[in-house]
Structure 1
Amino acid sequence: MAALTGKVAWVTGAGSGIGQAAAIALAKEGATVVLTGRRKGPLDQTAAMIKKAGGKSEVKAGDLMKAAVVTRIAKGIEKAYGRCDILVNNAGLNILERKWSQLTPASAETVIDGNLASAFYCVTAVLPMMRKRKDGVLIHTSSMAGRYPSILSGAAYSAAKHGVVAMSHTINMEECVNGIRSCAVCPGEVATPILDKRPVPITKAERARMAQSEDVGDLIRYIACLPAHVVINEVMINPTWNRGYVAALQRAKS
């Protein structure tokens, strides 16, 4: 029997990249996966991939930056399944104009709501279901920018992803007595569509050297399959050819 048979997982940002890879990996482990994102088309594609692999999923599209939408989707999950065992808080975004000299209140709101507020809404929506069962795993895609402020990622993105890490740790501080575990996953550069929002374009060769969505998806699967008496509070995953390290080595030689 697969490790997650009978479990229900809610994966946000499931239409592409890390979210899609995680959803497929969890479904292969036997979980029924609820797929959420703003665009239904990509979610349907993920659902088709899960079906082809022999897994089960359901598409529930919606804008997670709206608290009422999150509440509606969570209530639908509880009504349909009576439980939510795993939350993969993966929805996120960034913008091209990310310097302080370019940011506006509206653009900052977009990045902070897309990466932090939406994650908070999902956590508060699923915790009551998890408390009832005295069990549950929450896995949040933060970033290396959530540990080390990054001009490359931008002020708003760095701040929001730092907030995701803090959110995850406080969940463990309060909910450990309820058997609930929370993990902040902090990837470095991953070859996902969000790279298209970089101010400096990333080449195909550079993307090939990065961590891939499937690498992070498999890490999320591993975390979700851990026994209930242990938690990975936080974990980093990076490409071996770390462009930041390589640039530092080149500067040291010059």
Structure 2
Amino acid sequence: MREEQLMLGGRVAMITGASSGIGAAAGRLFAAEGAAVVLMARREERLRAVAEEIAASGGRALVAVGDVAVEKDVERAVEAAVREFGHLDCAFNNAGFASSGTALHEMDGELFDHTMDVNVRGVWNCLRHQIPAMLQRGGGAIVNTSSVAGLRATGASAAYVAAKHAVIGLTRAAAAEYGERGVRVNALVVGSTRTEMMDEILRQTPELEERFAAHAIQKRMASPVEIARTAAWLCGDRSSFVTGAAVPVDGGATAI
């Protein structure tokens, strides 16, 4: 298939949380759609396995080990993208952290801070360094992972609900600020998805699985690649008039 027929042909994309789940699925999909991908996460061995899989399929992948909550790590990842591939066109800021529905008054400050650091400061750090790189390129597209919990209380912890609301706020603010300069910014309102993080939550609280599936009109959870497909579309030209949106990818959970 010619490069111009691919959704992300010739693009350079940065993906966070890329060692497993939605991020790993996005890495594979973005590469298959023609992008050179910069894979960022904390777990080097897992990242390298994803990168090797992409390379074996004829794609291009760069490993950037780091924590999105640490600004210097994000800065190094963006710099590596530009150094290795010449520019940065799009980003999928997907790294996140969720805890089970601990009652607000029982949650300790350390867990609250960690939830905010990964989910909010992580997106903030990424936007701060990705946007300047895209402005140098003349524009770009960014997708941030929020959640159904970004629109309403879902039974997740209060910290997680607050953090995912904040992701949508950051998305809208950035879209408004940079829209006339060619940078589009959108968020995914993700429903329950069978990721490694979800599996850990279900191991702790197995009774949640039936409830999570019941929330969707389709009465099931998403697979990671179903979420990644929407991120890829938002990063490409086929969504050129979409910005500042909180796009539901939730099996209809927010429709009822």
Report the TM-score, using the length of structure 1 for normalisation.
0.88
Q: CA RMSD in A?
A: 2.3
> What is the rounded CA distance, in whole Å, between the counterparts of 2:7 and 2:104 in structure 1?
46
Write out aligned runs for 1:5-16 (5 A): 5-16=9-20
Runs of 4 or more above 6 Å deviation: none
- C-alpha distance in 2, partners of 1:236/1:131? 27
Contact 1:179 1:228 in 2 (8 A): no
1:251 corresponding residue in structure 2: none
Decide which of 28, 34, 37 is 2:32's aligned counterpart: 28
Is the 1:98–1:156 contact (alpha carbons within 8 Å) kept by the matching residues of 2?
no
SS of the counterpart of 1:235?
strand
Which of 158, 180, 183 is the equivalent residue of 1:180? 183
5 Å-filtered alignment, 1:19-98, equals: 19-96=23-100, 98=102
- Counterpart-to-counterpart distance in 2, 1:134 and 1:228: 17
* Counterpart residue type for residue 200 of structure 1: T
Tell me the matched-pair count.
Answer: 243
Unmatched runs of 5 consecutive residues or more in structure 1: 246-254
Structure 2 residue runs without a partner (length 5+): 214-218
- Give 1:211's aligned residue: 222
2:242 is matched with 231
Deviations 1:44-97 (A, max 9, x none): 121122123321101111111111221222222222223111110000012246
TM-score by length of 2: 0.87
2:205 is aligned to: 200
1:154 aligns with 2:157: yes
Partner of 1:120: 124
Give percent identity, aligned residues only.
29
Distance (Å, rounded) in 2 between the aligned partners of 1:98 and 1:157: 10
Residue range with higher mean Cα deviation, 206-215 or 174-183: 206-215
CA shift in 2, pair 1:203/1:163, >3 Å = closer
* Cα contact 1:70–1:122 (8 A) shared by 2: yes
